[in-house]
Structure 1
């Protein structure tokens, strides 16, 4: 069972470096065009069994564009929602860091909670589509923490996913997840990114 974790297309808040979290920011026109180009790429890569998505507008719209070209329906999965950044949402990264140098923002969802929620959601998706190939449209921080948990590496060592970046994971017959690629770059079994 393989899942392609895709970060949503660009938003205006991405352009200005504002922290989105659970704030429901829509795609901008660049983000829509990114999703259309990605849909064409995915259509060339063979059969997909499902498109699942975070309920937030930026992910849902990305997923709907992908699903439409792939002749699938976008299925909302609430647990694919982005991590909450609490009081830091809406601030620029630099302003948030100035107020909270520790990067622990009041009311923020913790690293462990994000990872546990994410892996549980992916397990449910895998159980629903056994042996399938599934696209999961979600968010940058969510993806980073899930990949860190699966690979047993610190989340700080995970590269930041750009808009529309694809990271692939695979679940074996024992139910164990393995990271295959991060943002389109192969990931070696020893936990190090494969050389290019």
Structure 2
């Protein structure tokens, strides 16, 4: 069985200020580093083969902290699992987005969901496949990917539908989500994978706190 664990990076100051980050490279803050360490400690209850990360510093450092907790080499940085690009909305708060881009107004430079999935899904399948051998019938393997909220939301929704991940459900900084590779495709095992009872913490923030641009869209 070949397993993939997606981990959202720890908190940044822009997360705390509710600013859209996207491709803007904002580092972890101290709480974010603590969240990454906590995720690493939870993951350390199982064995892993490798850690991969988005090259954006908040995810790369999260991956490095996790890798150290797992006793693995520093993560390989894979640009294809970087956060969704939000163009001219990056750096804005939710209220600023609503003022500048009222409902139905295109955001210049914003990456569509189809574009996001077109780059993310093949990369994640290949990363997962390489952890378990040449093909799905290879040896069992486990890999961690430190990535971003919009990436995780897009992948979960694509493979499992809205019944698992409702629009109002936030994806916590440092949260862990597990998938299995079956017949060349990812299958969701657990959203907010508990690993052990200690990691079961339901999201409590309103969805708009996470990302004002992750509402339903035609793209």
Task: State the TM-score bracket (shorter-chain normalisation).
Answer: 0.7 to 0.9
SS of aligned partner of 2:109: coil
SS of aligned partner of 1:134: strand
Partner of 1:12: 13
Partner of 1:135: 144
Gap regions ≥5 residues in structure 1:
187-196
Distance of 2:164 and 2:87 partners within structure 1: 19
SS of aligned partner of 2:189: strand
Partner of 2:188: 179
**Structure 1 residue runs of 4+, over 6 Å off?**
none
Distance of 2:112 and 2:163 partners within structure 1: 14
Matched, 1:165 2:175: yes
Distance of 2:171 and 2:105 partners within structure 1: 19
Distance of 2:175 and 2:69 partners within structure 1: 18
SS of aligned partner of 1:25: coil
Deviations 1:139-192 (Å, cap 9, x if unpaired)?
Answer: 0011101111112449983532110011111111x1122111112379xxxxxx
Gap regions ≥5 residues in structure 2:
133-139, 196-219
SS of aligned partner of 1:129: helix
Instruction: Return closer, same or farther for 1:155/1:108 CA change in 2, 3 Å cut-off.
Output: farther
Distance of 2:176 and 2:52 partners within structure 1: 14
**Number of residue pairs matched by the alignment:** 184
Q: CA RMSD in A?
A: 2.0
Instruction: Give the TM-score, by structure 1 length.
Output: 0.87
State which drifts further: 124-133 or 176-185: 176-185
Instruction: Give the TM-score, by structure 2 length.
Output: 0.78
Distance of 1:185 and 1:104 partners within structure 2: 38
Partner of 2:216: none
Instruction: Return closer, same or farther for 1:60/1:103 CA change in 2, 3 Å cut-off.
Output: farther
Pairwise CA distance, 1:132: 1.1
Deviations 1:84-122 (Å, cap 9, x if unpaired)?
Answer: 000000000221122212374211000111122111111
